[in-house]
Structure 1
Amino acid sequence: MLTDTALRAPQLQAKLFRGLADPSRLAILEALRPGPLHVSAIVAATGLSQPNVSNHLRCLSECGLVRAETRGRFVHYQLGDERIDQLLRLADELLADTASGVRACGQYE
């Protein structure tokens, strides 16, 4: 018999991956992989608008995927957990082997 936790796991995983499915949020996470950045630096690194970055940072923060630290007048953001970097690295490795299939997939346009 499945426990409550086991029943929720696929739903929580799906929610996590929906959060990661947005190209803007992924661009922000990629920008933060080397280390903490303030909003202006994230804007410069991603090419996204400042309001867009701020909205996505709020979402990522609420989900625990990034965390904020105030340093003087600036708020610096960093990955909320080192395993996010590992997850993104594993995605890169997986795509190295499956990119043509992923590109051809019409299910997730």
Structure 2
Amino acid sequence: MQINDEQIEVYTKFFHGLSNPTRYKIILSLIDGEKSVGELAEDTDCSQSLISMQLKCLKWCNFVKSSKEGKNIYYSISDERIITLIKLGQSIAEGNTSNICTCEILKEEKNYNGREDSK
């Protein structure tokens, strides 16, 4: 399969959008249906400000969409294929948990790129 460097950049950024633990938790929560920032904060055990910041990224990259009902804004997954991708990824990861968790290269990249989100 021929893919140019520009396409590779886009594809890796797509997956990077799902690599943040808070963004991933938001997506998992939204699989159950649309939710407000407050509901997402409760589901993910994160602050509303952190949820809002991560929703901005998810919305910008078109992982989620929003709709306004009165004064409330609700978020939902923008494309059902994202749910399929998440479930497929979880299925693959479940069979490789030990290898994924002990990968020295991933561990070094995490240490190089900084710490994960804090609550």
Tell me the TM-score normalized by structure 2.
0.84
The answer on 1:92 being equivalent to 2:51 is no
- 1:60 counterpart residue number: 58
- 1:46 counterpart residue number: 44
Over the matched positions of the two proteins, sequence identity in percent amounts to 28
Spell out structure 1 runs of 4+ moving beyond 4 A: none
Whole-angstrom CA distance in 1 between matches of 2:7 and 2:94: 28
Q: CA RMSD in A?
A: 1.1
Q: Which 5+ residue runs of structure 1 have no aligned equivalent? A: none
Q: 1:103 aligns with which of 83, 97, 101?
A: 101
Whole-angstrom CA distance in 2 between matches of 1:70 and 1:86: 26
- 1:70 counterpart residue number: 68
Whole-angstrom CA distance in 1 between matches of 2:56 and 2:106: 25
Whole-angstrom CA distance in 1 between matches of 2:47 and 2:53: 10
The answer on 1:80 being equivalent to 2:78 is yes
- 2:12 counterpart residue number: 14
Deviation by residue 1:3-53 (Cα, 9 ceiling, x = unmatched):
xxx312211111111111111100100010111001100000001111000
- 1:26 counterpart residue number: 24
Whole-angstrom CA distance in 1 between matches of 2:55 and 2:98: 31
Tell me the TM-score normalized by structure 1.
0.91
Q: Which 5+ residue runs of structure 2 have no aligned equivalent? A: 108-119
SS in 1 for 2:104: coil
